A = this chain, B = another copy of it.
Amino acid sequence: MTDPVGQSSRERYRAQVRAEIKQHAWEQIAAAGVPALSLNAIAKQVGMSGPALYRYFASRDDLITALIRDAYRSLADTVRAAFDSGTDLLGLAGVIREWARDDPQRYFLIYGTPVPGYHAPDDITAISFEVMAVLLEACGAPPADTRTTPFDAHLRDHRTWAFDHPAPAPTLHRALSFWTRLHGVLSLELAGHFTGMEFDPELLIAEELDTLPHGDRGLDPADRVSG
């Protein structure tokens, strides 16, 4: 009994239960963080008893890995969709910030405290490259009058990139600065390190991105095809 997509009814049921489990897992994480995630509690919530959950996820780490993968996938899709519909760099920052504020713990699952010794599976790092690829596209080609900085030269000499993207060094530089500046503000904001200072992080981000290296570009999304 297979449906048009090639899934048997058992496989469909399985996928649905897995999704339900992950849904409850996300709720627990949003409420109290990853450390408080309890497989037992989730099992009760979905109406099964303890060990039954191990039919769907081999271990607690396996469930968390699946959540990390979904988080990356969601971020990559969000960024890609925004870019494809004509959003510029500042707009992408807004989209990413919105995505992060929508579920801070999901953001920290990707960019938060790492577990020593943990190595994400290859398919997950591949998704992280997708995000980087969009940023590189959004950065576009460097303007004609680009003066290469020392870091540009350094980047040019150390291009053993894990994925080969044809972007020139100044574009890499710009994308890296975009990424690190946005993450710097955003992660501190989400972690509550700005509490007590009542400025608007969005304005800080805007200005940080306005002074990105190799600037005066990306203002007209129509130009991006020529990059």
> Which residues of A does B touch, CB under 8 Å?
30-35, 104-105, 108, 111-117, 125, 128, 149-151, 154-155, 158, 160-163, 176-177, 179-185, 187-188, 190-193, 195-200, 203-204, 206-208, 211, 213
Q: Tell whether, in the assembled complex, residue B199 and residue A125 are in contact, meaning their CB atoms are under 8 Å apart.
A: no
**Cβ–Cβ < 8 Å partners of A204 in chain B:** 151, 176-177, 180
**Cβ–Cβ < 8 Å partners of A211 in chain B:** 211, 213
Q: Tell whether, in the assembled complex, residue A203 and residue B112 are in contact, meaning their CB atoms are under 8 Å apart.
A: no
Min CB distance A201 to B, Å, is: 9
A150 vs B204: C-alpha distance when bound (angstroms): 9
**Cβ–Cβ < 8 Å partners of A32 in chain B:** 115-117
A33 vs B61: C-alpha distance when bound (angstroms): 14
* Given A184-B180, A184-B185, A187-B183; A200-B108 close (CB under 8 Å): no
Instruction: Name A162's contact: one of B35, B149, B197, B203 (CB within 8 Å).
Output: B197
15 new A-B contacts, CB < 8 A, other than A35-B115, A114-B191, A211-B211, are A105-B113, A111-B187, A114-B192, A151-B199, A151-B206, A151-B207, A154-B200, A154-B203, A158-B199, A162-B196, A180-B181, A180-B184, A181-B184, A183-B184, A183-B187
Q: Tell whether, in the assembled complex, residue B180 and residue A185 are in contact, meaning their CB atoms are under 8 Å apart.
A: yes
A119 vs B52: C-alpha distance when bound (angstroms): 36
Among the interface residues A114, A177, A183, A198, which one has the most CB atoms of the partner chain B within 10 A? A114
What are 5 inter-chain pairs, A to B, with CB distance below 8 A? A34-B35, A111-B193, A154-B200, A177-B204, A179-B184
